């Protein structure tokens, strides 16, 4: 007996409320842009520059005591996070089970590395003097210049990925399909950034990796739907475009839902059991899978209604991207 989350044949009218759905999507995209430009993102050390200390104590030390001590040391903005993943590793092996480990982040002060090194020494000395049997397991620093370069490279990587998608879909399908796919990708990336801004979650290099993965996942879903739309355009040349899009989405719905559910189950396990280190990445991926599934149906496919699409695929259309085909 096979598990079926969606019946084999469905006849859901996905586009009957397309104007309302478009308004909702536009609202979320606009709100995400406002959040980003007004409130910004909670950039991690990767992008702000600074130092991360992994500290272990034999006896449990309340997070509040760490924070109070760091406030008195006066080394700029700091944050303390308890590590809760039992299988976390460091460079020299496994961590103890009863390890009482925290991550201390010290924000970069100025552009001088010497100032940052002095701050690291101050923090280590203060911790050693106030807490017995403190161990410094790991120290990572990112300079101000490096952090700026990472921001630039992160933005460039996302733009290159979206541009590559535009070029690929244009060659494989038509320019209308390419624009629809890019609209969906921009929709997914912008709203994902917006949710990070709204919730104040840390935005670091792992989130850039998640955004690139979301681009790939969303594109995969979109191409599956587009392939079926193109097949049906050849089969039903007289069928109204709205009916044809509904038919195509319904025919691929079971595959889309099953792929999304199995992916989310794996990501949910990582989110719950993977610990703090990868929690931001897995959250971004879970959100990206959900929003990517939505956009492949309601954004990418619906864009074809607004842009129009070639109906007779037996004839070449030199104005719709087929000039790249031999």
Domain edges within the chain: 18-43+147-324, 50-142
Dihedral over Cα of 236, 237, 239, 240: its sign: positive
pLDDT of residue 287: 92
Residue 184 has pLDDT above 50, yes or no: yes
Distance CA 322, CA 208 (A): 33
- Classify residue 204 by its DSSP letter: -
- Does residue 194 carry a pLDDT above 90? yes
Segment 250-259 shows an average pLDDT of 86
Which residue did the predictor score with more confidence, 68 or 310?
68
First to last CA, the chain: 46
Residue 282: pLDDT above 80? yes
- The band of 167, judged by pLDDT with boundaries at 50, 70 and 90, is confident
| pLDDT of the residue at 191 | 93
Q: Please report the beta strands in the chain, taking only residues with DSSP state E, as ranges in sequence order.
A: 42-43, 50-57, 78-82, 89-90, 93-94, 101-107, 134-142, 202-203
Which residue, 179, 210, 197, 208, is CA-closest to 301?
A: 179
Q: What is the pLDDT of residue 264?
A: 92
- 145-166 pLDDT, tens digit per residue, is 666 677 777 788 878 877 887 7
Strands 89-90 and 93-94: antiparallel
What pLDDT sits at residue 3? 58
pTM for the model stands at: 0.73
User: Is the Cα torsion angle 62, 68, 72, 74 positive or negative in sign?
Assistant: positive
- Identify the pLDDT of residue 114: 60
pLDDT given at position 324: 34
Higher pLDDT, 232 or 139: 232
**C-alpha span between 223 and 312 (Å, rounded):** 20
pLDDT in tens, 21-68: 889 999 999 999 999 999 888 877 777 777 777 888 877 777 788 788
- Looking at residue 147, its pLDDT comes to 61
How many angstroms separate the CA atoms of 48 and 41, rounded? 11
Tell whether the model's pLDDT for residue 293 goes beyond 60. Answer: yes
| 269 pLDDT above the threshold of 80 | yes
Residue 219 has a pLDDT of: 84
Instruction: Output DSSP code: residue 239.
Output: S
- Percent of the chain predicted with pLDDT > 90: 11
Q: Indicate the pLDDT class of residue 170, thresholds 50, 70 and 90.
A: confident
Give the tokens for residue 95: 């961590």
Encoding tokens for residue 157?
């990587």
**Arithmetic mean of pLDDT over the chain:** 78
When pLDDT is cut at 50, 70 and 90, the band that residue 326 belongs to is very low
Domains 18-43+147-324 and 50-142 share a fold: no
Confidence of residue 144 (pLDDT cuts 50, 70, 90): low
Fold of 18-43+147-324: Multidrug efflux transporter AcrB transmembrane fold (1.20.1640)
Task: Tell me which of 292 and 322 has the higher pLDDT.
Answer: 292
Residue 319, CB half-sphere, CA atoms under 13 Å: how many?
3
Return phi, psi of residue 45, to 5°: -60, -30
pLDDT of residue 134: 81
Residue 88 confidence (pLDDT) above 50 = no
CATH fold for the domain made of 50-142: Alpha-Beta Plaits (3.30.70)
Give the integer Cα–Cα distance in Å for 201 and 41: 8
Residue 320 has pLDDT above 60, yes or no: no
Residues counted in the chain = 326
pLDDT at 31 (0 to 100): 94
Q: Which helix (H) or strand (E) holds 144?
A: helix 144-172
pLDDT of 4? 64
Residue 212: partners with Cβ closer than 8 Å, 6 or more residues away: 157, 158, 161
Q: Under a CB-based contact definition with an 8 Å cutoff, are residues 113 and 143 in contact? A: yes
Contacts of 72 (CB under 8 A, 6+ apart): 126
Has residue 323 got a pLDDT over 50?
no
Residue 49, classified by CB atoms within 10 Å of its CB into exposed (0-12), middle (13-18) or buried (19+), is buried
Residue 313 has pLDDT above 70, yes or no: no
């Amino acid at each position: 007996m096979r598990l079926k989350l969606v019946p084999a044949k469905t006849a859901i009218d996905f586009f009957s409320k397309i104007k309302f759905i478009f308004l909702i999507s536009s609202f979320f995209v606009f709100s995400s842009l406002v959040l980003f430009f007004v409130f910004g993102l909670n950039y991690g050390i990767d992008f702000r520059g600074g130092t991360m200390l992994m500290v272990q104590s034999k006896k449990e030390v309340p997070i509040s005591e760490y924070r109070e001590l760091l406030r008195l040391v006066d080394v700029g903005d700091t944050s303390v996070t308890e590590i809760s993943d039992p299988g976390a590793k460091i460079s020299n092996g496994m961590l103890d089970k009863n390890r009482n480990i925290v991550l201390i982040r010290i924000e970069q002060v100025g552009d001088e590395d010497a100032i940052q090194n002095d701050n690291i020494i101050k923090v280590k000395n203060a911790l050693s003097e106030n807490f017995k049997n403190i161990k410094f397991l790991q120290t990572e620093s990112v300079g101000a210049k490096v952090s700026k370069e990472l921001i630039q490279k992160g933005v460039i990587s996302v733009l290159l990925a979206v541009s590559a998608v535009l070029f690929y879909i244009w060659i494989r399908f038509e320019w209308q399909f390419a624009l629809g796919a890019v609209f969906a990708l921009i929709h997914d990336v912008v709203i994902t950034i917006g949710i990070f801004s709204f919730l104040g979650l840390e935005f670091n290099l792992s989130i850039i990796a998640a955004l690139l993965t979301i681009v790939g996942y969303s594109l995969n879903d979109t191409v599956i739907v587009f392939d079926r739309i193109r097949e049906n355009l050849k089969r039903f040349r007289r069928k109204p475009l709205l009916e044809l899009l509904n038919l195509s989405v319904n025919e691929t719905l079971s595959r889309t839902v099953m792929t999304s559910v199995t992916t989310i189950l794996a990501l949910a396990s990582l989110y719950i059991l993977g610990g703090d280190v990868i929690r931001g990445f897995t959250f971004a991926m879970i959100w990206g899978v959900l929003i990517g599934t939505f956009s492949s149906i309601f954004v990418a496919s619906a864009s074809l209604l607004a842009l129009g699409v070639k109906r007779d695929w037996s004839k070449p259309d030199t104005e719709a991207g087929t000039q790249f085909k031999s």
